[in-house]
Amino acid sequence: GQNIDQPTEMTATEGAIVQINCTYQTSGFNGLFWYQQHAGEAPTFLSYNVLDGLEEKGRFSSFLSRSKGYSYLLLKELQMKDSASYLCARTDKLIFGTGTRLQVFP
């Protein structure tokens, strides 16, 4: 199978750092997307990892370890507008994880 697992919900405080994990079965894997989805809106692209290591993009970074079947999205200096669902997706069959709903509190 190609199950993708993410925590269902997370909470954090404005200004803090939060790490959202994503694990997947390694068979057939060739890359990972991270998407952000605000309630009632379409998913929007955040990052793409195909090689091991950290990809940094402003306040958001994404990490991949292919041998461990593990990725994380790191959000720094959290803002209220970061409250959303965060979804990881395999690029081999474009299967999405169940998403992690992040709530940022003042």
Partner 1 sequence: DTAVSQTPKYLVTQMGNDKSIKCEQNLGHDTMYWYKQDSKKFLKIMFSYNNKELIINETVPNRFSPKSPDKAHLNLHINSLELGDSAVYFCASSRGLAGGNTGELFFGEGSRLTVL
Task: Provide the binding-site residues for partner 1, judged by CB under 8 A.
Answer: 30-31, 33, 35, 37, 41-45, 48, 85, 87, 89, 91-96, 98-99, 101
Q: How far is CA 6 from CA 11, 20, 58, in A?
A: 14, 8, 23
Which of residues 9 and 77 has its CB atom nearest to partner 1 in the complex? Answer: 9
Report in angstroms how near the CB of residue 47 gets to partner 1 at its nearest: 9
Beta strands 18-24 and 70-75 are antiparallel
Report in angstroms how near the CB of residue 45 gets to partner 1 at its nearest: 4
Give the separation between CA 63 and CA 44, rounded to whole angstroms. 18
Closest residue by Cα to residue 97 from 23, 12, 40? 23
Q: Would you say the C-alpha torsion 85, 18, 10, 66 has a positive or negative sign?
A: positive
Report in angstroms how near the CB of residue 53 gets to partner 1 at its nearest: 19
